[in-house]
Amino acid sequence: MQKPRAGGDPYENLANAIVIQAAEDYMSALKRLRKNRSNDAAMQEALQLERFFHSGWFGVLTSVDPDFLIRELRKKVSE
């Protein structure tokens, strides 16, 4: 994921940083699930992040389609 640029609109940088961190956390949870399918904590984290990606708050932060993002992050983890 691309890190927010220094300078520019600080609110946009903050929104981007939130989305990037959520994406990184989601991929981390998916990787833990690949290693151990019965990892309940990783499953709960992944589900919680998917709910975040589909939330109104996510829609305020970015115009990225949540289903597209989830699909791409899953692909990246499975490579």
For the chain, what is the domain count?
Answer: 1
29 located within any domain: yes
Range of the domain at 20: 11-78
Q: pLDDT per residue over 16-66, tens digit each? A: 999 999 999 999 999 999 999 999 999 999 999 999 999 999 999 999 999
57 located within any domain: yes
Q: Which two tokens stand for residue 4?
A: 């927010």
Please report the pLDDT score of residue 15 as a whole number.
95
Give CA–CA dist 50/26, Å, rounded: 8
pTM over 0.85: yes
